[in-house]
Structure 1
Amino acid sequence: MRIISGTHKGKRISAPKKLPVRPTTDMAKEALFNILNNRYYFDELTVVDLFSGTGNISYEFASRGTKNISAVDADYGCVKFINDTSDALEMGIAAFKSDVFTYLEKSREKATIIFADPPYDLPIESFEKIPQKVFENGLLLDNGLLIIEHSSHMDLSHLEHFVEKRKYGGSIFSFFAWPEPVTL
């Protein structure tokens, strides 16, 4: 994986093979960050990266100037890798081990961007639970976006707060926001 833009542009990061991950492709990540770049100043964001895996998305935000990033993953190896990489690159990402659904129940941290990249083989009910818990618990700031990456074989457009979806290869980003109009 590589960092696309910012202070660490072009930096390649090699994750251990044993981690249970499926990183977001460079093509999909670049498209996503082009969307976000047109809407936000990265240095003003608060980001929560759920199912963070290798930390691919967190590193991209940090490289672009985001200072307040929390990465949440249930796998200790993933959390250790993110913390080690963040320390080595002086990114300041706060990675911690937690079941994402427990985190969504207990956390009161509000964020501008909540990015979730669950394992594609989770049942659709688990995917549906993410926006439900985010909005029910008020975890997204008024001008924020919840972005869920999922397989192109899944459709989340029926869920409350759904705004739009974008397809990149076999992946889709579904965007969710508070009721006021959002233009991507």
Structure 2
Amino acid sequence: MSRIIAGAAGGTPLSAVPGSLTRPTTDRVKEALFSRLDAFDVIAGARVLDLYAGSGSLGVESGSRGAQAVELVESDAKASAVCQRNADLLNGVLGRKAVTVHRSKVEPFLDRATPGDTWDLVFLDPPYPLEETALSAVLSKLAAHLAPSAVVVVERSSRSPEPEWPEALTRFAEKKYGETRLWFAEPYVPDAIDRDDISAVEEAETAGP
């Protein structure tokens, strides 16, 4: 059973999407991912967007660890209902509405976003069959709504090619965990210094999961 790993609701079990509608991120991968995000110092106070949210596990984990506001976007009715149960669970623990659920397809959701809608941390865990061109289109729409120091995390099969990043995004790291590969990107800024201590984080992870 999936759970919230750390933070205000650490150890709390999460509801799972029934059947094989989604491909949940394993606790092993989630723990490694959030260790890296903690090293980047991008969670506390962040505005988080969890696209193709499934059960909402990644977004809810962020909320438990101190994100200011979390939005879960999921189009499937059953999965969206699970997102809502998990959001209600965390909101109850925190005593405030930190997590909001949107039942919507990803591209229309981004099309409706206003110029003032920006996020500091974004998760994309699309279905593996999603074509690379479709993922690239989503990343292009997303790029206009990122804070300057935002981090974008794309989860794909380890057999999938690297995402086709739009010009507005730059990949700065990637990590493979068995059948899962995580890609990390940030807004492209000409002549910007690379995110600090990436190599140190990579070295530290060699002893991890």
Verify same fold: TM over 0.5.
Answer: yes
Match for residue 82 of structure 1? 83
The answer to which of 159-168 and 139-148 deviates more is 159-168
Match for residue 127 of structure 2? 119
The answer to which of 87-96 and 46-55 deviates more is 87-96
Distance 1:17 1:5 in 2: 24
Tell me whether 1:133 sits opposite 2:141 in the alignment: yes
Q: CA deviation at 1:177?
A: 0.9
Distance 2:17 2:54 in 1: 11
Match for residue 63 of structure 1? 64
For residue 182 of structure 1, what is the amino acid of its counterpart? Answer: R
Structure 1 residues 21 and 158: CA distance shift in structure 2, 3 A? closer
Q: Is the CA contact 2:3–2:14 (under 8 Å) kept in the aligned structure 1?
A: yes
Q: Whose Rg is larger? A: 2
Match for residue 169 of structure 1? 178
Query: Normalization by structure 1: what TM-score?
Result: 0.90
| SS of the residue 2:81 aligns to | helix
Tell me whether 1:107 sits opposite 2:116 in the alignment: no
Distance 2:42 2:15 in 1: 28
For residue 75 of structure 1, what is the amino acid of its counterpart? Answer: D
Q: Is the CA contact 2:9–2:64 (under 8 Å) kept in the aligned structure 1?
A: yes
Structure 1 residues 123 and 158: CA distance shift in structure 2, 3 A? closer
The answer to which of 109-118 and 152-161 deviates more is 152-161
Distance 1:155 1:33 in 2: 23
Distance 1:31 1:129 in 2: 28
Q: Is the CA contact 2:60–2:70 (under 8 Å) kept in the aligned structure 1?
A: no
Distance 1:165 1:171 in 2: 11
Match for residue 54 of structure 2? 53
Gaps of 5+ in 1: none
Structure 1 residues 18 and 30: CA distance shift in structure 2, 3 A? same
Distance 1:143 1:94 in 2: 23
Q: Is the CA contact 2:5–2:11 (under 8 Å) kept in the aligned structure 1?
A: yes
Gaps of 5+ in 2: 199-209
Distance 2:12 2:23 in 1: 19
| SS of the residue 2:161 aligns to | coil
Q: Is the CA contact 2:42–2:120 (under 8 Å) kept in the aligned structure 1?
A: no
What root-mean-square deviation, in Å, do the aligned CA atoms of Structure 1 and Structure 2 show? 1.8
Segments ≥4 residues shifted beyond 6 Å: none
| Equivalent pairs, count | 182
Q: CA deviation at 1:168?
A: 1.1
For residue 167 of structure 1, what is the amino acid of its counterpart? Answer: K
